[in-house]
Amino acid sequence: MESGRPFRAVFADTGNEHELTYEYVGRLHERTGGPKVEVVRADFTEALRRHRDYVLREWPKQGIPHAIVAEAAALHEPTGIPFLDLCISKGRFPARMSQFCTGELKEIPITTQIVGPMLRRGPVLQWLGIRAEESRNRARQRRYNHHESGAVIWRPIRHWSVDDVWAQHRRHGLRPNPLYAMGMQRVGCLPCVNCRKSELRAIADRFPEHIDRIERWEAIVSAANKRRAATFFPAVTDPMDTEHPGEYARIRTLVEWSRTTHGGRQYGMFFEHQTGGGCSSDLGLCERA
Ligand code: SF4
């Protein structure tokens, strides 16, 4: 907007977002005076149909009882929640080492629904608001690169610090997404499969209904796959139960673990050190002027 160039603003809705994020994105144009943010959603109707056909055709040949096949097949009706539909169609949740969610829920819908049609009319410069300080992976990304779609990717705030981000908010009289002041360290999926222990605890404390939702999703994805097990976070050694190493780490177990101190056995008496200096936000938002 400062450069005066026309642009479209796009948000990929994963279906695993907090309601405050939907509210923030839906009304952002009123605060900025810019264009309304367009929302894209991945559609897994076809992937679910294909996988249901596979379940009905192949599982009986593998000796899987009829009742289990029928239950799994019935769960392949699209829910319209991209994240959940993706997991049902894959029979699992994404993970750090198999992070198919980013591509399926964000890159592909933005490329096919927004960038592709624009490219047919001319060149596209695609801005990404990510910063090098956010992760090692992001630090490795260049300021510009060509995307396989044909667009040029530009990361204009790649070198910004967190302070730069909040300074820009103040400059334009914009309040940040309120989730930051509530202890969330990122406002993408809630939770993200890569979320930290402290972040999971903050989500469980502030938004227990979202933990309930993930628990329901775990039950659905479990019933829709052959192993009859699926956990939102990867199946690692359960930190609360050394007698059964490797047991699936269900969300409830990990929430309990998130309330413990280092080692996973004792419950912390004090808040862990926060970089915000006592503020529950990792970014120190409550201390902002
Ligand atoms: S925010 Fe996390 S869970 Fe959501 S799409 Fe990105 S990596 Fe996956």
Q: Give tens-digit pLDDT for 137-152.
A: 889 989 999 999 999 9
Q: Would the pLDDT of 121 be above 50? A: yes
Ligand 1 center from residue 160 Cα (angstroms): 22
**Tokens standing for residue 70:** 């029928």
Q: Would the pLDDT of 218 be above 90? A: yes
The closest of 213, 231, 192, 191 to 91, measured between CA atoms, is 231
Q: Residue 222: left if φ>0, alpha if ψ -120 to 50, beta else—which one?
A: alpha
Q: What is the mean pLDDT of residues 35-57?
A: 97
Q: Alpha-carbon Rg of the chain, whole angstroms? A: 21
Give the DSSP letter of residue 287. Answer: G
Q: Would the pLDDT of 220 be above 60? A: yes
pLDDT: which is higher, 185 or 255:
255
214 neighbors 233 (Cβ within 8 angstroms): no
Compute CA 216 distance to the chain's CA centroid, rounded to the nearest angstrom.
17
CB 102 near ligand 1, within 6 Å? yes
Gap between the Cα atoms of 125 and 108, Å rounded? 17
Which atom, in ligand 1's list, is nearest to the CA of 188? Answer: 1
What is the pLDDT at residue 186? Answer: 79
Q: What is the mean pLDDT of residues 225-239?
A: 80
Q: How many residues does the chain have?
A: 289
Which atom, in ligand 1's list, is nearest to the CA of 102? Answer: 5
CB 105 near ligand 1, within 6 Å? yes
**Residue 51, number of CB atoms within 10 A of its CB:** 20
Which atom, in ligand 1's list, is nearest to the CA of 195? Answer: 2
Q: Would the pLDDT of 11 be above 80? A: yes
CB 40 near ligand 1, within 6 Å? no
Q: Over the chain, what is the mean pLDDT?
A: 87
CB 190 near ligand 1, within 6 Å? no
**pLDDT 10s digits, 47-84:** 999 999 999 999 999 999 999 999 999 999 999 999 99
**Tokens standing for residue 138:** 């992001």
CA distances in angstroms from 76 to 46, 50, 51, 231, listed in the order given: 10, 9, 8, 18
Gap between the Cα atoms of 76 and 59, Å rounded? 14
Which mutation among 100, 102, 199 tests ligand 1's pocket best, with the greatest number of atoms within 8 A of CB? 102
Which mutation among 13, 16, 87, 101 tests ligand 1's pocket best, with the greatest number of atoms within 8 A of CB? 101
What is the pLDDT at residue 196? Answer: 85
Q: Would the pLDDT of 279 be above 60? A: no
Which atom, in ligand 1's list, is nearest to the CA of 16? Answer: 4
Q: Would the pLDDT of 239 be above 80? A: no
